């Protein structure tokens, strides 16, 4: 079905990550690849001045550990990638750089703020050049 699947995971809700990772494994062609992705949002410069220097390094390291744990629990082989920046932009950039043919992303039920700003999943769906599967 799909040769390259991007699975962006919010490490604060790993149960949703487990669900979409298992779905990706079900949809993956033999010989295909899953890219398990986490995007660490950068700290705004006006806040960064009061934070320890290694806070971003620690966040990236923690994200890698959590994704490895998720991969182990799902018993799914995947390439782990950590990016920094705005989540939607980095998910789309990862899909483009890996020539992905599917992005599987978890979404929560929209609330009022989503109608004003749009969620990460909304932005990915609107701007992706490949297929996108949104799991609730």
| Cα 11 from Cα 96, distance rounded (Å) | 22
* Arithmetic mean of pLDDT, 79-93: 97
Q: Which domains does the chain have, with CATH numbers?
A: 2-135 (3.40.50.620)
| Cα 9 from Cα 83, distance rounded (Å) | 12
- Taking only the tens place, the pLDDT of each residue in 9-35 is 999 889 999 999 999 999 999 999 999
**Whole-number Cα distances in Å, 129 to 30, 37, 69, 101:** 23, 18, 30, 9
Closest Cα partner for 10 from 92, 127, 120, 129? 120
| Whether pLDDT at 112 is above 60 | no
Q: What is the pTM of this model?
A: 0.89
């Amino acid at each position: 079905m799909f040769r390259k699947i991007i699975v962006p995971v919010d490490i604060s809700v790993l149960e949703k990550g487990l669900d979409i990772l298992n779905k990706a494994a079900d949809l993956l062609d033999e010989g295909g690849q899953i890219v398990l992705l986490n995007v660490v949002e950068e700290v705004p410069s006006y806040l960064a001045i009061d934070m320890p220097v290694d806070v971003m390094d620690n966040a990236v390291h923690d994200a890698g550990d959590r994704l490895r744990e998720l991969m182990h629990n799902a018993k799914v082989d995947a390439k782990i990638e950590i990016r920094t920046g705005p989540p939607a932009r980095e998910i789309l950039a990862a899909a483009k750089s890996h020539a992905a043919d599917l992005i599987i992303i978890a979404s929560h039920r929209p609330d009022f703020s989503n109608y004003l700003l749009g969620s990460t999943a909304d932005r990915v769906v609107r701007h992706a050049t490949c297929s996108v599967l949104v799991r609730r």
